[in-house]
Amino acid sequence: MMNHYQKLLRISTTGKSLQNITAKIESIVAESGIETGLCTLFLRHTSASLIIQENADPDVLLDLENFMAKLVPESAKYIHDAEGADDMPAHIRTVLTKTSEHIPINRGHLVLGTWQGIYIWEHRQRNHYRELVVHISG
């Protein structure tokens, strides 16, 4: 019989930043009691995203932010600007990344690589509360 555990997190972001949430997710995996299975993460937003990325050298995150700013500039002429100049670029950045991740669980821990961390990537200028569904099955 497969067990399921689900939790909704409200995470406060600080405008345009990458926030490491690995420890929060590891804590929920431990709380679930599931030893072997799968952790599914789903971010319920269209202007922020989830990534698994380097967690040792902060220069990697800075380079990612700089690359994305050049790739999807806020200064372009967008039709959709209902919530400001950063609105449509945030949606495009989310399309280019993703809003969900699946990570195996073994011996009650996420099976991440040595240098991998889980991040919420806030694409908007101002702070937001983001909702993340954590679903663990095993």
pLDDT of residue 117: 98
Query: Which of 103, 100, 135 is CA-nearest to residue 120?
Result: 100
Query: Which of 47, 49, 50, 44 is CA-nearest to residue 22?
Result: 50
The pTM of the full predicted model, rounded to 2 decimals, is: 0.95
pLDDT, tens digit, 9 for 90 and up, residues 123-136: 999 999 999 999 99
For the CA atoms of 55, 99, 43, 83, the dihedral, rounded to the nearest 10 degrees, stands at 110
**53 phi/psi in degrees, rounded to 5:** -155, 175
| 81 pLDDT tier (thresholds 50, 70, 90) | confident
Domains delineated in the chain: 4-137 (2.60.120.460)
pLDDT of residue 1: 86
What residues have CB less than 8 Å from 56, skipping those under 6 apart?
115
